Amino acid sequence: MLDNKKLTELKLTAANVRKHILTGTHAAASGHPGGSLSIADVITLLYFEVMNTSPETAKSPDRDRFVLSKGHCAPALYGVLAERGYFPKEDIATLRRTGSYLQGHPDMKAIPGVDMSSGSLGQGISAANGMALAGKIDKRDFRVYTILGDGELEEGQVWEAAMYASHYKLDNLTAFVDFNGLQIDGDIEKVMSPLPIDKKFEAFGWNVIVCDAHDFNALLDAINQAKETKGKPTMIILKSVKGKGVSFMENNPSWHGSAPNDEQYAQAIAEIDAEIERIKEGA
């Protein structure tokens, strides 16, 4: 359990990450706010509570690693890396600009703190497998975390990787699927249903946990259970809300890949600022 002070800090950080997501996509007039907002809480928890990594140890062979398999949600990753001090927060406004290091999708060569380039769906989970395997080969006890989209599960490579991770007993790998139920073309069940997600991963030999994506204590419990599970990888299915935290973006697939205009941006920031005040009052 997180104590109240820590919980408040995490909530405030996640709110700031949400503001970075909005600022970056608004400044770029493009990008993927919906799915970025749905993973803002889990990614904040990973970098501020769970993972053994920091700007100072960003190249250490023993650090924990993170792969954003759903790479289009880079604004969430960049937001949390900026909050964590990997690069200046002001740079978020250069997202997707010509000449900026903050590429539209994560670029490990250019962006401090990014462990793997990603963006082409299905490939990140395989790369996370490779890292987990390298850890086993070298007998290092780092852990590897990766986040997939629920629509991403439609990629065949995800299931090649799912088979691989359990075959090689990669219990140092924890994967998440951001189960917000929406992809670009609409409801995942209408476009191409990947359901049931839990039964599929269980059948592929994974330990599966279902969890509320926006409850820090539940997330931490699930991550700790994954750490204690030996002999198989863990998939944490995040029951999430796409666009979480911005009323008009929530559960609306049109915010998958479009940025807020000036007016929408102002409203979204005002909503999150109000939430920040509520968090502070509740603390």
Partner 1 sequence: MQKSATREAYGLALAEFGEKYDIIVLDADLSKSTKTDTFLKKFPERFFNTGIAEGNMMSTAAGIASCGKIVFASSFAMFAAGRAFEQIRNSICYPNLNVKIGATHAGISVGEDGATHQCLEDIGIMRTIPNMVIINPADKAESILAVEAAIKHDGPVYLRFGRLAVPEIFDRDTYKFEIGKGVELIEGTDVTIIATGLLVPEAMTAADKLKEEGISARVINMATIKPIDREIIEKAARETGAIVTAEEHNVIGGLGSAVAEVLCEVAPVPMLRIGTQDVFGQSGKPAELFEVYGLTAENIVAKAKEVIRLKNK
Q: 104, 112, 130, 205: which one contacts partner 1 (CB under 8 A)?
A: 130
Task: Name residues whose C-beta falls within 8 Å of residue 99's C-beta, 6 or more positions apart in sequence.
Answer: none
H helices of the chain, in order, are 4-28, 33-45, 74-83, 123-137, 156-167, 188-192, 197-203, 216-228, 262-282
Interface pattern 76-115 for partner 1 (x via CB under 8 A) = -------------------------------xxx-----x
Q: How many residues are listed for the chain in this entry?
A: 283
Closer CB to partner 1, 201 or 255, in the complex: 201
Segment interacting with partner 1, rule: CB under 8 A, options 124-132, 227-235, 248-256, 258-266: 124-132
Looking at residues 167 to 186 of the shown chain, list those that interact with partner 1 (rule: CB under 8 A).
Answer: 167-168
Nearest-angstrom CA–CA distance, 232 and 102: 35
Nearest-angstrom CA–CA distance, 274 and 212: 23
Nearest-angstrom CA–CA distance, 50 and 61: 17
Instruction: Give yes or no for residue 187 binding partner 1 (CB under 8 A).
Output: no
Structure tokens at 17: 């990450």
Looking at residues 13 to 42 of the shown chain, list those that interact with partner 1 (rule: CB under 8 A).
Answer: none
Q: 10, 131, 148, 246: which one contacts partner 1 (CB under 8 A)?
A: 131
Q: 2, 7, 12, 133: which one contacts partner 1 (CB under 8 A)?
A: 133
Give min distance, CB of 262 to partner 1, in A. Answer: 34
Instruction: Give yes or no for residue 119 binding partner 1 (CB under 8 A).
Output: yes
Interface pattern 51-80 for partner 1 (x via CB under 8 A) = ----------x-----x-------------
Nearest-angstrom CA–CA distance, 124 and 113: 16
